[in-house]
Amino acid sequence: MSDQFELHAEVREDLGKGASRRLRRHVDHVPAIIYGGDKDPQPLSLIRKDLEKALENEAFYSHVLTINVGKDKQKAILKDLQRHPARESVMHADFLRVDENRPVKVHVPIHFINEAKSHGVKTGGGIIQHQETDIEVQCLPSAIPEYIEVDMLKVEIGQIVHLSDIVLPEGVDSVALALGEDHDLAVASIIAPRGASDADEEEGAAAAAPDAEEEGDSED
């Protein structure tokens, strides 16, 4: 992971919904919290423009971050993000402290490749559907992948790509698959183009029509 993300935070002493509202409105900061590890949870405030700029980079969501609280540097990952339901502005952020020697669970984005060249799309005119956009994995912090590639090149119409079909980097495990085969989720699929099934039925009916006419003639 070549990108390094650092956020400067201040300890938040004034707590509660009203305090958080004042923080967002009057000083344009975002309330946050960092927890986990051997330390107590610590309420923080972050400069909104700095956080939102970092969030523009996809890698921010799956990187180990450095949260600077005064002179204290804490390693963490972004665990949760609350946004305003209408404006999509960030309302609150949760960070989980990490220990380089302890595995963590994190959602990693999926990058689908070769979609336009896929057999089901190029030769069959199929339509790709994404059932998942990220995968929850467990690994050491140093092994967290920036993203996971899913190659759609050889996928045909009617085929489904499951979690078990994806090759994960060494040392990285799927959280869902660890629970058993019943959790082998569908990640993507290629379906027939709209109207294709109707056309097949019409062709089948047309092919059967002459036979029906011959049967009718034999009865006369």
- CATH code for the domain in which residue 125 is found: 2.170.120.20
**Domain boundary pick from 98, 117, 151:** 98
The neighbour count for residue 214, using CB atoms within 10 Å, is 9
**Domain boundary pick from 98, 117, 142:** 98
Q: For residue 220, tell me if it sits in a domain.
A: no
**Domain boundary pick from 42, 64, 98:** 98
Q: What is the pLDDT of residues 59-74, one digit of tens each?
A: 999 889 999 998 899 9
d(CA 101, CA 124): 48
Q: Give the domain CATH number at 54.
A: 2.40.240.10
- Whose tokens are 């595995």? That residue is 103
- The pLDDT of residue 26 is above 70: no
- The pLDDT of residue 2 is above 60: no
Total domains present in the chain: 2
Tell me the residue range of the domain where 158 lies: 105-197
Q: Which range, of 7-21, 27-41, 65-79, 199-213, averages the lowest pLDDT?
A: 199-213
- Between these two residues, 4 and 11, which has the higher pLDDT value? 11
Q: What is the pLDDT of residues 109-127, one digit of tens each?
A: 999 999 999 999 999 999 9
Structure tokens that stand for 147 in this block: 């993203």
Beta bridge partners of 6: 66
Are 49 and 94 part of one and the same domain?
A: yes
- The pLDDT of residue 212 is above 60: no
In whole angstroms, how far apart are CA 5 and each of 16, 66, 133, 170? Answer: 28, 6, 23, 24
